[in-house]
Structure formats: structure tokens, C-alpha cells
Amino acid sequence: AADGLAISAQLTLPPQGEAKHRALVVLPHDGPLWHDGRGFNWLAQVLASRGYVVLQPNYRGSEGYGAALTAAGKGQWAGRSLSDMADGVRYLAAQGIIDPKRVCIAGEGYGGYAALKGAESSGSYRCAIAINGISDPADYLKTAKQNAVADEIAALRADPKAPRAFMADARSPALVQGYYGPQTPAAISAPSVKAPVLLVASQYDKAVPADQSRSLRDRLQKAGKTASYTELPDCGHDLATEACRLQTAQAVVDFLAANNPAR
């Protein structure tokens, strides 16, 4: 990163053609207390199969790469966690792997917030895709408080990989506030958005209600911005079913083909 912090990332290359000056999709994970590791990621594979290089950065605040990296994300929800992603783009451009003029950003949850912030920046990304994305951090924190029990172990949940063990709950209000810092980050400013945006929202998302996307859609359209919207019936936040993923993949591929063609 620009300040010297080492950032791990997963890089997925298209199955055909040389990895030079390719179109890129930055795919930040949800969280921020989450991580991308070596394993199957359905959306990364969909994008690579369509000819895109895919970067999944484990920006500061991510788990799984040491306590120091996780701690470095405190207070950086709208700060250096986002610039870590942009630093990854610059690194790949310097290596000649990607064309810096053909870069879009897509993500779920917090990754969706990162994508929308990228759309606010000047010239960094050609387009942005927010899947069940957070557009209003204050409202997201309110929802998190409604979903959580306010006691000493509210920030813990059962670890599915280790019976009788617990792990931090990325959606705990206390953890969310720690990533926010002393002030809650501002909602996405529709008039400030400079790139085409795709919003994908799950009808039954309890973590990031679909109203976050619907409200931003309306504000973007009122501001005269290019905004596409897809709502997924019978889907939740994690897009756990094949039908939910297929609908999302189709919307994403169609949007990218129109706004950042792979070839």
C-alpha cells in the first residue's frame, strides 16, 4: 500500500489470452472483518471466464492475515481500507497486467460500499457494482443494533469450522463502530457519483435491507446519473442459492459488457 503496509490479494486470470493490458474487476470482500483465501469464489470465476482479470484484495481490517492487519483497519472504513484497493490497481498497472483505463469495482456488503465510494472518485473506475451494498453507514449501524443482542459476547458467533469454538461476528455493532472510527461515515452522495452504477438488492436481506439500494437508486436517478437496478426475489444477504447467484451473475455480466467490455 502507499504507506508501506503489505496487502495480500488473490488474483484470478482469464483462462485464455495473455495477461497483459487486460480489463480488470476489483472484487473487495464483505466485512471488513472477512477475507478472501485460496478457494472457489463463484463471482470471481464468472468474471474471469468472461475475460476479466479479477483482484480480491485483503485490505486493512481483513482477518486471516495477522492481528496487525486487522487492527490497522480500525477507523479506516472510509479511509485507507479503500485506498488499499486503489493501490492494488496501480500495482497491477505497473506490472503491465491490466489497462488502468478499463477498471471497474464490484462488491457485496461493505465491498459494495467500497464500489460506490469508487464511483464517487474522479476517474479511478469506469463503473461500479454494489451487491446488497451499504449506501448509508448510519442506517446500516442502526440495522446491526436491531439484529444484535447487547451483551458481552454480542461480537461472537459459532465458528462453523471448529465445533464448540467462537469467532468474531463481522456484523456486530461494536465491531462496525470500531471500523467507522470516531465519526460515522457519510452516506453515498448521489450528485458526487461520476461513473455508471449497478445496484443489486436481495428482497429478504436482513443485514443490509434492500431499502439501502432502492433509496440510492432513486437519488441517483433524481440526480441524472446512470443507475441500473436489479432486485432478487427470495434471496438473502449471502446469495446462498444457485438461483440467486445466477441472477446476480447475469446482471453483473450484462452491466460490465455495456460499461467495461473485456475485449
Pairing of strands 22-26, 53-57: parallel
Kindly list the averaged pLDDT for each block of 10 residues, start to end, along the chain of length 263: 95 93 97 92 97 98 93 95 96 97 97 97 89 97 80 61 68 86 96 97 96 98 96 95 97 98 93
Q: Tell me the CA end-to-end span of the chain in Å, nearest whole number.
A: 29
pTM of the model: 0.92
Q: What is the pLDDT of residue 152?
A: 47
> 106 has which bridge partners?
129
Q: What is the pLDDT of residue 145?
A: 86
The CATH architecture assigned to 9-259 reads 3-Layer(aba) Sandwich (3.40)
96 burial level (CB within 10 Å; 0-12, 13-18, 19+):
exposed
Distance CA 88, CA 206 (A): 31
Distance CA 225, CA 219 (A): 9
Considering the chain, what percentage of its residues have pLDDT values greater than 70?
92
Q: What is the pLDDT of residue 245?
A: 97
pLDDT in tens, 14-61: 998 899 999 999 999 999 999 999 889 999 999 999 999 999 999 999
Q: How far is CA 186 from CA 40, 138, 175, 219, in A?
A: 34, 8, 18, 15
The torsion region of residue 184 among left (phi > 0), alpha (psi -120 to 50) and beta comes to: beta
| Residue boundaries of the structural domains of the chain | 9-259
Residue 30 grid cell: 464483505
